[in-house]
Each structure stands twice: as C-alpha cells, then as structure tokens.
C-alpha cells in the first residue's frame, strides 16, 4: 500500500481526504475498543479495519492512547458543538418554554451516552489501570463552548445566580451517571423506562437552574 506523506496535487481520485481518513480511523477505533477494551486492541487491527496503513494512523493520532481518548470523546465534542451551533436561531423567536432547550439537551445527550456506554466504561477502566494515558482537554473545551449559550439563557430568563462553568459540568455528570451507571444504581427489577428518567432529569435541570424563586430560609 502506498503511503507517501505529501499529497500531491492531482492525486488519484480514490485518495481519501485527511478528514475522511480520520473519521474512518475513529469509527474503527470505537468499535474495536468497545468490543475489546483498550489493552487488547492493537493499532494494527484498527488500521486494518479502517482500511488505512498503521503509519497513517500514527501520523494522525500520534499514539494509541491519544487515538483512544479521541475516539471515546469525539462523539460528545461533536454533539456539544452541534448543540451550540443550532441554538442561535432561537434568539430571533419568542423565548421557548424553559423546558424546550433543557429537554433537547438532556434527551440527546442521554441517548448518545447510552449508545457509547461501553466506550465510556473502557475509558474509565483504562484510566484506572493502564499506564501512559493522559486525560485530554477536548471534552472540557467543548463544555466551555456552551458557556455563552447558558449565560444568555440565564440572563434572558432572569434566572438567579448560577455558577455557569460548574453547572454545565454538573449537568453533564448527572446525565453521564444515569446513562453509564444507571443499571447499577437501580434495583435490577425496577429499572425505570428511559422516558421517566429523561423527564425527571429535565425537571431537575429546569428547576435546578431557576433560582429566582428561592424560598426564605
């Protein structure tokens, strides 16, 4: 397989763009890591599954650890950035009920975390027992990009004092816990249906942020 490092102008039609290669590798990494965990997945088989050379894998990601972190976290970064990108349109319309943006966020995030539950577990396990893994700032950076949006919601709705950076993380943590650890938190014969969990999270979030109604001590 040819692996020339510099893409020449007029390269073959079938040559994939760097972005395509990146996506192929991330997809292959996600399915391999989810099935086998970090230690037992090799970069060679991930490259094979993606249909690219191992050298190209390392050129894109540097190390197996980095590929792993990005493979796990990228869907969440993408979701958060997509959520931010879709929101400004709302500004021109009358303010939707507070429940609308909350439900939109919580429900999609919960489903995404549930879909990638095994990967999140693999990340936690690898962090605990493998050496050489460094937590990367991608997720936190994406959460930071929500700040402007939440600041705006807080001021438009006249909500009370909210510590925005911390609350964004607390909400993410709550949804992640329900999606990833939910089955251990509930008795196995009393797991509530998804709708009930989502409804309760939405109410929790709407009222958790609405602090103008603070009761007198």
Partner 1 sequence: MSESSAAKAGRSKPGAARRAPDEVRRLLLEAARSLFAARGYAGASTRDIALKAGVSEALLFRHFGTKAKLFERAILDPINGFIHNYVEEWKARSAADHTPEAISYAYVDGFYRLLSENRDLVLALVTAQAYESIEELEAASPLSRLMEELEVVAGREAELRGYQFDVPISTRLVAGMVMAMALLDEWLFPAGKRRPSRQRIVNEMVEFMLHGLAHRDAAVAPAEASG
Give CA angle at 201 (96, 119), nearest 5°: 115
Place of tokens 């014969």: 189
Question: Which window, 10-18, 40-48, 82-90, 176-184, contacts partner 1 (CB under 8 A)?
Answer: 176-184
- Measured N-to-C along each axis, helices 64-86 and 54-61 cross at an angle, to the nearest 10 degrees, of 60
List the alpha helices (DSSP H) in the chain. 18-36, 43-50, 54-61, 64-86, 99-115, 117-129, 138-144, 147-156, 164-185, 194-209
- Restricted to residues 20-39, the positions that interact with partner 1 (CB under 8 A) are 37
By CB under 8 A, residue 169 contacts partner 1: yes
Task: Find out whether 60 and 70 touch, Cβ atoms under 8 Å.
Answer: no
By CB under 8 A, residue 210 contacts partner 1: yes
- For partner 1, the closer of residues 55 and 177 by Cβ is 177
By CB under 8 A, residue 166 contacts partner 1: yes
Count, residues near partner 1 per rule CB under 8 A: 55
* Token couple for 37: 């965990």
CB of 134 to partner 1, least distance (A): 8
Among the listed residues 63, 140, 194, 195, the single contact to partner 1 using CB under 8 A? 140
By CB under 8 A, residue 47 contacts partner 1: no
For residue 211, give the 3-state DSSP assignment.
coil
CB of 216 to partner 1, least distance (A): 9
CB of 92 to partner 1, least distance (A): 28
By CB under 8 A, residue 208 contacts partner 1: yes
Task: Find out whether 176 and 119 touch, Cβ atoms under 8 Å.
Answer: no
CB-based burial label for 80 (10 Å; 0-12, 13-18, 19+): buried
Question: Which window, 18-26, 42-50, 56-64, 193-201, contacts partner 1 (CB under 8 A)?
Answer: 193-201
Task: Find out whether 57 and 46 touch, Cβ atoms under 8 Å.
Answer: yes
Residues interacting with partner 1, by CB under 8 A? 37, 73, 121, 124-125, 127-129, 135-137, 139-140, 143, 162-163, 165-167, 169-174, 176-178, 180-188, 190, 192, 196-197, 200-201, 203-205, 207-211, 213-215, 217
């Amino acid at each position: 397989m040819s692996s020339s490092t510099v893409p020449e102008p007029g390269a073959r039609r079938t040559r994939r763009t760097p972005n395509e290669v990146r996506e192929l590798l991330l997809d292959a990494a996600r399915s391999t890591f989810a099935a086998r965990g970090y230690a037992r997945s090799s970069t060679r088989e991930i490259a094979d599954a993606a249909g690219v050379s191992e050298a190209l894998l390392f050129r894109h990601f540097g190390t197996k650890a980095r590929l792993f972190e990005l493979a796990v976290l990228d869907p969440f970064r993408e979701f958060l950035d997509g959520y931010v990108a879709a929101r400004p349109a709302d500004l021109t319309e009358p303010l939707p009920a507070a429940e609308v943006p909350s439900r939109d966020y919580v429900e999609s995030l919960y489903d995404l975390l549930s879909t990638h539950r095994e990967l999140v577990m693999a990340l936690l396990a690898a962090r605990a027992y493998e050496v050489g893994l460094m937590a990367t700032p991608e997720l936190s950076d994406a959460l930071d990009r929500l700040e402007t949006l939440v600041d705006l919601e807080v001021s438009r709705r006249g909500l009370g004092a909210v510590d925005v950076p911390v609350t964004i993380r607390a909400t993410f943590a709550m949804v992640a816990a329900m999606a990833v650890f939910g089955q251990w938190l509930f008795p196995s014969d009393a797991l509530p249906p998804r709708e009930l969990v989502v409804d309760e999270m939405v109410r929790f979030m709407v009222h958790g942020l609405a602090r103008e109604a603070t009761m007198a001590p």
